C-alpha cells in the first residue's frame, strides 16, 4: 500500500508541475509513471485471472502443537503462464504464515501439501486458501479465494503429568501434611469394575483373576475423589504476546491437570471468570473431560474478578470441603494466598500453579508469594516461559536449601 500511495503522490505532483509550468519533462515523467502503474496492475490482474484453487483438509481432533495437513490443488485455465503466485492457507489461525510460491504453465495443474502448525487454541471460521499475485515492481498485490468455509476447533496444548501433590490444612501448628497421590494416605477399602476412562495403575489383579472381570481399587482416605480447578482469567494479570502468554500457559496447565485426574477415575470440575463465567460441576468420564476441553478452548483472559474473590466465591458454593483444589494463576498478589489459607482451613486439599509473569516481561517479584505458599505447606508448581511444562508440573517449587513440602510437613505431624 505504501508503494501505491507513493505512485499516486508522484502522479499528482508531476501533473500539477506539468500543468503549472508547461515544462515537457514533467509531462514525460507523469505519462511514464502512469504507464508503469497501469502495466503493473495489468500484470498482477492477468497473472491471477483464470486461476482456480480447491482444498482438502484431513484432520481429526486438533490440538495446539500438532499440524493440520492441507492438500491444495491449483488449476490454470488460461493460455497465459502464471508467475510467482503465493498460496496461503488457514491465515485465520494465528501464529503461522504457512504457504508456497509457485509457477504454472498454460492450462497447467499443480498439487501441494501444506503442513500447517497449530499454535493457538480457539474456534475459527476458516475459508479456502488465498491466492496472491504481485507485479514485478511490487506495487500491486491482488488476492482471490474460493467460496465456502468451515469451523475449525483447536483444543489446548496439554502434557502428560502424574497426579499432583496436594496439601490438606492443619494450621494448629505451622505445617501441613502431604497427600501426594490417592493411594499414599488412603486405604483401598472397596473394589469396583474397571471403566475405559480409568487408569490401569489401580487395577487389583488378585480380584481380577478371581472374578474374571477387571477390578479397580477404590481408595478411601477421608477425602472425596473430586478435583476442582480454579483458573484465574483476570485480564489485568495477562502478560506476553499473542501466542506465548500467561493465559495460554494457564489453560495448558488446567487441561493437563484435568486429564490427569480424569484418567484416575476422579470427578473433575472447573470454575473461572474470563470472557464469561465458567462453572463446570465435577463429573467423571470422557464426555465430561471433553466438555471441559471445549470450555478451555473458548475461554479468554478478559475477566474482572480477582483470584481472592474467586476463591471466596468457590468456597461458598462447594457442597463439601473434602475435595481437592488446584489453583492456576499468574497473579503475584499475596492476598489470594491468604484466601487460599482460609479454604485449606476448611479441610480442602490444595495445590497451586503459578505462571511466572516476569518471564513474560512483567514487573513484580513472585518470590514473596512463593515463599508464603511454601511456609503454609501448599505445594506450588512454577511455570516459566520457554521451559518444559511437563517437567515443571512434576516437581513442586521450593526455596534453595529447604526440604520438599512433604518433608516439611512431616516435621510438624
DSSP calls for 335-370: HHHHHHHHHHHTT-EEEEEEE-GGGGT--S-THHHH
| 365 Cβ neighbours under 8 A, 6+ residues apart | 332, 358
Q: What is the pTM of this model?
A: 0.78
CATH, domain 166-186+221-410, list 3.40.1080.10, 3.40.630.40, 3.40.50.410, 3.40.50.300: 3.40.50.410
pLDDT band at 200 (very low <50, low <70, confident <90, very high): low
Which architecture characterizes domain 50-155 according to CATH? Sandwich (2.60)
| 182 Cβ neighbours under 8 A, 6+ residues apart | 163, 202, 219, 221, 225, 264, 266
Q: What are phi and psi of 85, to 5 degrees?
A: -80, 135
| 210 Cβ neighbours under 8 A, 6+ residues apart | none
Q: How confident is the model at residue 218, as a pLDDT?
A: 55
pLDDT band at 173 (very low <50, low <70, confident <90, very high): very low
Q: How confident is the model at residue 199, as a pLDDT?
A: 56
Q: How far apart are CA 285 and CA 294, in angstroms?
A: 15
Query: Does residue 384 carry a pLDDT above 50?
Result: yes
Query: Does residue 392 carry a pLDDT above 90?
Result: yes
Which pLDDT tens digit goes with each residue over 267-320? 999 999 999 999 999 999 999 999 999 999 999 999 999 999 999 999 988 877
Q: How far apart are CA 269 and CA 281, in angstroms?
A: 5
Q: How confident is the model at residue 202, as a pLDDT?
A: 59
Cβ atoms within 10 Å, residue 352: 26
Closest CA to 61 of 294, 296, 390, 295: 294
Edge-to-edge strand order for the sheet containing 141-145? 99-104, 82-88, 130-134, 141-145
- Residue indicated by cell numbers 493465559: 247
Q: How far apart are CA 158 and CA 118, in angstroms?
A: 13
Name the DSSP class of 91: T
Closest CA to 237 of 327, 355, 325, 326: 355
Looking at every residue in the chain, the average pLDDT score rounds to 85
Is 214 in a helix, a strand, or coil? coil
Name the DSSP class of 235: G
Q: How far apart are CA 132 and CA 86, in angstroms?
A: 5
Query: Does residue 179 carry a pLDDT above 60?
Result: no
Cβ atoms within 10 Å, residue 110: 17
Query: Does residue 394 carry a pLDDT above 70?
Result: yes
Amino acid at each position: 500500500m505504501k508503494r501505491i500511495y507513493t505512485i499516486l503522490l508522484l502522479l499528482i505532483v508531476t501533473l500539477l508541475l506539468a500543468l503549472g509550468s508547461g515544462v515537457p519533462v514533467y509531462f514525460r515523467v507523469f505519462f511514464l509513471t502512469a504507464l508503469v502503474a497501469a502495466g503493473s496492475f495489468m500484470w498482477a490482474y492477468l497473472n491471477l485471472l483464470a486461476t482456480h484453487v480447491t482444498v482438502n483438509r484431513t484432520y481429526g481432533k486438533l490440538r495446539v502443537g500438532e499440524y493440520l495437513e492441507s492438500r491444495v490443488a491449483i488449476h490454470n485455465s488460461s493460455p497465459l503462464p502464471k508467475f510467482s503466485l503465493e498460496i496461503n492457507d488457514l491465515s485465520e489461525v494465528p501464529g503461522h504464515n504457512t504457504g508456497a510460491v509457485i509457477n504454472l504453465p498454460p492450462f497447467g495443474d499443480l498439487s501441494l501439501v501444506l503442513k500447517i502448525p497449530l499454535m493457538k487454541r480457539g474456534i475459527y471460521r476458516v475459508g479456502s486458501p488465498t491466492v496472491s499475485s504481485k507485479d514485478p515492481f511490487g506495487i500491486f498485490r491482488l488476492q482471490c479465494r474460493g467460496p465456502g468455509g468451515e469451523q475449525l476447533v483447536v483444543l489446548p496444548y496439554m502434557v502428560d503429568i502424574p497426579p499432583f501433590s496436594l496439601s490438606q490444612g492443619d494450621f494448629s501448628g505451622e505445617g501441613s501434611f502431604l497427600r501426594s497421590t490417592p493411594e499414599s494416605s488412603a486405604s483401598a477399602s472397596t473394589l469396583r469394575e474397571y471403566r475405559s476412562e480409568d487408569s490401569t495403575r489401580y487395577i487389583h489383579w488378585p480380584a481380577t483373576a478371581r472374578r474374571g472381570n477387571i477390578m479397580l481399587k477404590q481408595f478411601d482416605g477421608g477425602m472425596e475423589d473430586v478435583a476442582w480447578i480454579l483458573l484465574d482469567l483476570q485480564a489485568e494479570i495477562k502478560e506476553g504476546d499473542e501466542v506465548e502468554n500467561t493465559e495460554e500457559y494457564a489453560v495448558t496447565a488446567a487441561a493437563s491437570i484435568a486429564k490427569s485426574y480424569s484418567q484416575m477415575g476422579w470427578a473433575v470440575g472447573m470454575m473461572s471468570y474470563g470472557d464469561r463465567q465458567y462453572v463446570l460441576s465435577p463429573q467423571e468420564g470422557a464426555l465430561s473431560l471433553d466438555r471441559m476441553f471445549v470450555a478451555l478452548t473458548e475461554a479468554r483472559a478478559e475477566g474482572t474478578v480477582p483470584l481472592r474473590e474467586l476463591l471466596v466465591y468457590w468456597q461458598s458454593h462447594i457442597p463439601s470441603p473434602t475435595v481437592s483444589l488446584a489453583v492456576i494463576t499468574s497473579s503475584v498478589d499475596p492476598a489470594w494466598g491468604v484466601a487460599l489459607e482460609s479454604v485449606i482451613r476448611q479441610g480442602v486439599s490444595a495445590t497451586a500453579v503459578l505462571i511466572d509473569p516476569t518471564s513474560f516481561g512483567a514487573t513484580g517479584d513472585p518470590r514473596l508469594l512463593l515463599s508464603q505458599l511454601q511456609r503454609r505447606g501448599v505445594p506450588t508448581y512454577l511455570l516459566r516461559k520457554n521451559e518444559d511444562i511437563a517437567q515443571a508440573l512434576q516437581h513442586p517449587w521450593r526455596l534453595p536449601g529447604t526440604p520438599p513440602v512433604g518433608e516439611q510437613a512431616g516435621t510438624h505431624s
